[in-house]
Chain A
Amino acid sequence: MGNVVTLNGETAQVRDEIVVKDLNLFYKTRRKKGKDAEPHEALRDVNLAVKEGEFLSVVGPSGCGKSTLLYILAGLNKKTSGEVIIGDKQVNGPSQDRGIIMQAYALFPWRSIIKNVEFGLEVKGTPRKQRREIAQSFIDLVGLSGYENKYPYELSGGMKQRIAIARALAYDPDVLLMDEPFAAVDEQTRSFLHEELLNIWEKTHKTIVFVTHSIDEAVFLSDRVAVMTPGPGTIKEIVDINLPRPRHADLKTTEEFGHFRTKVWQLLQSKTDRAVAIEAGNNREIVNEPQDMVI
């Protein structure tokens, strides 16, 4: 539980939507020829709490386990030990109380845009007519009315990502998990999508966990920024971003913004000895073990 001061000065209790306790994850790996398999430690004792309706970003060096953490929250990766609670429930697998948005869009190429957005509602069992209406309203929300009957290949990268967001919002999850969603779009589109995402967040009151490489992006969007250490990833520190909302692109030129950006940057710079050693050389070959159930 955390305390938040509301506009009229009262203190209100806000519950934690996501709680991660002592989370560890080891990947199965295979060493180069002749050597034994040795699990690869991707996350070590991760502790994190995200408040309901909060926008939290996770930054950290490449390979530190950001995606791994997000996939565990999504229920797509199995943890090795620890506890993950979302809402009031233990996470044991994917569920419609969460939505994930990936860098690679992962739209279904054989479905029209509106049918893509309807997917989660089909799973939910929403009747056809309602499905259409809801999907349409989210396509409108992300500003792509008129594209309902196009196919993903007919859209630009930025448009695809907006549809991926609409698809994740349509079945009304409480938590939105985003893994570098804007890494593949150009600077201008990204800036536009930032404001749009904040608008949507303010309208829908979702709890958002946002993984990114970009310090600017993290500071601009978030209430708090969690900085991770190089692998095995742990949460090094969480920085409160006390910048006023609603935020617009010109915020990025202000001194306060610069202050937070520098703070996060410095946290990312201070390397541990272990991190230096890892960067120097890592001969581990990582493989995807075939899983018994792919589909």
Chain B
Amino acid sequence: MEENNGKLRNKIISIVAIVFFFVAWFIAGELELYDTQFVPGLGTVFAEAWHLIQNGVLLECISISVFRIVVGLSFSIVVGIPLGYLLGGFSPKFAAFIKPLLKNLSLVNCFTLIPVFILLFGIGEGSKMGIIFWVLVFPVMFATIQGVEQIDPAIINAARSMGAGKIKIFFDIALPAAATPVFAGVKSAASLGFLVLLSAETVGAKSGLGWLVFNSHANYNVPRLFVGILAVALFGFVFTAVIELAQKRIIVWKEES
């Protein structure tokens, strides 16, 4: 109960701080309390945002970025988690053998791979999502391997002693028993993916939030630059909130047997 109260209080304090920050920014901008050439007032930024909403640019940028990261992350989950379970669960010896190779592969700088991805997937969306996939699949897979390796052997033994076969143990024991570390892996992969997405969009893209920021900067459109930055921040916030919500929905228990 007290813990909950503390959490609520912290939440209120941070909301108040954010509101205060924006109000201060707005007032300072309106009253021209500082040089608004480099940091425009919030009023100006909102006016620009309204403009970009009306001509559809902002929505298009956001939706294309969402699309890219959702597809890239989904692919890395769909590939990384089963692969991690297979490597960690069914053949730990093989996993120990192949892990250094995978670690090295994961360290290959994704931007040096852009030409390869363009060759493989063409110049369009494929290569961008390919990069995101490439960067994210490894952390997801490693987290899964680790999660499976960490499963309490007593729990596996309990299931085996009740006659459970390999398939039942895989789906009913290994899958949920490793869920917490797997989710942690997905979460850190998601925030990493977010960074990669933004930088990938500044390199070769003509759309997306990363492009909006980069292009505004190149054209000295400072209010638009700030709309981009705020949109990125908001996007990141919503993105993590969605993943955390999913985690809360799926993991309703506490790790303690």
In the complex, which residue of chain A has the Cβ closest to the Cβ of B96? Answer: A290
- Interface SS of B by simple majority: helix
Shortest CB-to-CB span from B187 to chain A, Å, is: 18
Among A41-49, A98-106, A272-280, which stretch is in contact with chain B? A98-106
Shortest CB-to-CB span from B152 to chain A, Å, is: 7
Which of B89, B161, B177, B255 has a CB less than 8 Å from the CB of A100?
Answer: B161
> In the assembled complex, which residues on chain B have CB atoms less than 8 Å from the CB atom of A76?
157, 160-161
Shortest CB-to-CB span from B256 to chain A, Å, is: 4
A110/B162 in contact, CB under 8 A: no
- Interface SS of A by simple majority: loop
Bound CA span A183–B241, Å? 43
**B91 contacts the other chain (CB 8 A):** yes
In the complex, which residue of chain B has the Cβ closest to the Cβ of A107? Answer: B257
A102/B89 in contact, CB under 8 A: no
Given contacts A102-B154, A295-B90, contact A119 B159 (CB under 8 A): yes
In the complex, which residue of chain B has the Cβ closest to the Cβ of A155? Answer: B256
A109/B254 in contact, CB under 8 A: yes
> In the assembled complex, which residues on chain B have CB atoms less than 8 Å from the CB atom of A151?
252-254
Size class of the B contact interface (CB-based, 8 Å)? 35 or more
> In the assembled complex, which residues on chain A have CB atoms less than 8 Å from the CB atom of B93?
290, 292
**A94 contacts the other chain (CB 8 A):** yes
Which of A74, A110, A294 has a CB less than 8 Å from the CB of B161?
Answer: A74
Given contacts A94-B163, A290-B96, A293-B90, contact A110 B158 (CB under 8 A): no
0 or 1 for each of B220-257: is its CB under 8 Å from A? (1 = yes): 00000000000000000000000000000001111111
> In the assembled complex, which residues on chain A have CB atoms less than 8 Å from the CB atom of B169?
295
Shortest CB-to-CB span from A294 to chain B, Å, is: 6
B257/A106 in contact, CB under 8 A: yes
Which of B92, B148, B156, B253 has a CB less than 8 Å from the CB of A153?
Answer: B253
> In the assembled complex, which residues on chain B have CB atoms less than 8 Å from the CB atom of A95?
163
In the complex, which residue of chain A has the Cβ closest to the Cβ of B250? Answer: A110
> In the assembled complex, which residues on chain B have CB atoms less than 8 Å from the CB atom of A291?
92
Given contacts A105-B257, A107-B257, A109-B253, contact A99 B89 (CB under 8 A): no
Bound CA span A98–B163, Å? 9
Shortest CB-to-CB span from B92 to chain A, Å, is: 5
A295/B156 in contact, CB under 8 A: yes
B166/A295 in contact, CB under 8 A: yes
In the complex, which residue of chain B has the Cβ closest to the Cβ of A124? Answer: B163
Which of A104, A119, A292, A295 has a CB less than 8 Å from the CB of B257?
Answer: A104
Bound CA span A292–B108, Å? 30
A-B contact number at CB 8 A: 107
A99/B173 in contact, CB under 8 A: no
0 or 1 for each of B144-185: is its CB under 8 Å from A? (1 = yes): 000010011011111111111110111011101101000000
Bound CA span A116–B50, Å? 55
B170/A104 in contact, CB under 8 A: no
Bound CA span A152–B169, Å? 19
Bound CA span A30–B156, Å? 24
> In the assembled complex, which residues on chain A have CB atoms less than 8 Å from the CB atom of B96?
290
Shortest CB-to-CB span from B145 to chain A, Å, is: 12
**A92 contacts the other chain (CB 8 A):** no
Bound CA span A184–B174, Å? 26
Given contacts A104-B154, A106-B158, contact A119 B253 (CB under 8 A): no
In the complex, which residue of chain A has the Cβ closest to the Cβ of B88? Answer: A294
> In the assembled complex, which residues on chain A have CB atoms less than 8 Å from the CB atom of B162?
94, 96, 99, 119-120, 123, 167-168, 171
> In the assembled complex, which residues on chain B have CB atoms less than 8 Å from the CB atom of A106?
152, 154-155, 157-158, 257
> In the assembled complex, which residues on chain A have CB atoms less than 8 Å from the CB atom of B158?
100, 102, 106-108
Which of B161, B168, B257 has a CB less than 8 Å from the CB of A152?
Answer: B257
B256/A109 in contact, CB under 8 A: yes
Bound CA span A124–B165, Å? 11
B164/A119 in contact, CB under 8 A: yes
Shortest CB-to-CB span from A28 to chain B, Å, is: 14
Given contacts A110-B179, A110-B253, A151-B253, contact A292 B160 (CB under 8 A): no
Which of B156, B168, B172, B252 has a CB less than 8 Å from the CB of A294?
Answer: B156
A123/B168 in contact, CB under 8 A: yes
In the complex, which residue of chain A has the Cβ closest to the Cβ of B164? Answer: A123
Shortest CB-to-CB span from B166 to chain A, Å, is: 6
> In the assembled complex, which residues on chain B have CB atoms less than 8 Å from the CB atom of A167?
162
> In the assembled complex, which residues on chain A have CB atoms less than 8 Å from the CB atom of B173?
108, 295
Bound CA span A137–B35, Å? 76
Chain A 97-155 residues near chain B, CB threshold 8 A? 98-100, 102, 104-111, 119-120, 122-124, 151-153
Identify 10 residue pairs between A and B in the complex whose beta-carbon atoms are under 8 Å apart, listed by A's number: A75-B161, A100-B158, A108-B173, A119-B172, A123-B162, A123-B164, A123-B168, A151-B254, A295-B148, A295-B173
What is the interface of chain B, defined by CB distance below 8 A to chain A?
Answer: 89-93, 96, 148, 151-152, 154-166, 168-170, 172-174, 176-177, 179, 251-257
Please provide the 9 A-B residue pairs with the shortest distance between their CB atoms, ordered closest to farther. A106-B158, A153-B254, A120-B162, A110-B176, A106-B154, A153-B256, A96-B163, A100-B161, A295-B89
